[in-house]
Structure 1
Amino acid sequence: MKAILKQMKAFDYVIIVVCLIISFLPNIVTANIYSNSNDEQTIVALIKINGQEVDRFVLGDETEDFEKTYYPDTGQYNIIQKQGDQIRIQEDNSPDQIGVRTGWISQPGQTAICLPHGFIIEIQGKVDEDPLILPL
């Protein structure tokens, strides 16, 4: 180990430090772009039954809170609850209750699914402008 350190010159250390900084630069730039884009994003909850979109709600503190019941098929029901910027399956009559146990969802990409009923709540974000296009 000492033999390797004796062979290195001062400029070698500078090159190593610069390479380390450059290796983290893409992460820093990407984090900065996406952190600035959150203010420009509208979050939408899509309600799907058997793959077909049946309803859509904008999630936010300025929208009104509600409960709504859906009937995917005869003898099946799903009650959803929206509160501020989050939504959940409050109650359903499926045997496993996975959708109910999922709880509140509010971030783009999250889903609550009641598989026996084919009922899905999916959160999507609509960005007003593309954050990956940098101005020149």
Structure 2
Amino acid sequence: MKLWHELKKQWRYMDGVVIICLIMLSFVPYVVFGMSQAKEKDNDNGTIAIITINGKEVDRFDLNENTKHFEKTYYPGGDKYNIVEVDGTRIRVKEDNSPDQIAVMTSWISRVGQTSICLPHKLVIEIKAKNPENDEDDMIMTY
């Protein structure tokens, strides 16, 4: 009880203002992120999935509501294989014979900027905007 009285004596009006301001500022990243996601959905001109093996583009698929479900098998070399499944607006590596199965565990990807990578087979699936307004994600900055 004595501790509470000591804290009450030290409390000032501006302490409360600062605490309330800090709590309000903690929600700013959430609001900014939500607004950027909403803007991305508004400007949705469609997406494409680009599949590269060993740095070379091997396939490109339109991802939209009219895209039919299908599977395609890729053989990156030797006894390696990857089965890629496309279903409407999403894509995934359904099955492969890599040891860790990381691309399989990544599961479905559908938003611009998402990737699924099978490192042992050097297979990369990347989602990009069909008509990007500004291609900021391809910019490489060096210091």
Q: Shorter-chain TM-score category?
A: 0.5 to 0.7
Give runs of aligned pairs for residues 81-96 of structure 1, distance below 5 A.
81-92=85-96, 94=97, 96=99
Residue equivalent to 2:48: 44
Flag structure 1 segments of 5+ consecutive residues without an equivalent. Answer: 131-136
Residue equivalent to 1:64: 68
Question: Partners in 2 of 1:126 and 1:3 — Cα distance?
Answer: 63
How many angstroms does 1:37 deviate by?
2.3
Question: Partners in 1 of 2:110 and 2:34 — Cα distance?
Answer: 22
Residue equivalent to 2:36: 34
Change (3 A) 1:20 1:91: closer
Question: Partners in 2 of 1:88 and 1:48 — Cα distance?
Answer: 14
Residue equivalent to 2:115: 110
Tell me which amino acid in the other structure corresponds to 1:6. K
Change (3 A) 1:100 1:10: closer
Question: Partners in 1 of 2:14 and 2:79 — Cα distance?
Answer: 76
Flag structure 2 segments of 5+ consecutive residues without an equivalent. Answer: 135-143
CA deviation vs aligned residue, 1:23-50 (integer Å, no higher than 9, x gap): 2253243123223124124433221111
Change (3 A) 1:79 1:15: closer
Aligned length: 127
Change (3 A) 1:114 1:6: closer
Secondary structure, counterpart of 2:26 in structure 1: helix
How many angstroms does 1:114 deviate by?
5.9
Residue equivalent to 2:8: 5
Q: TM-score, normalised by structure 1?
A: 0.65
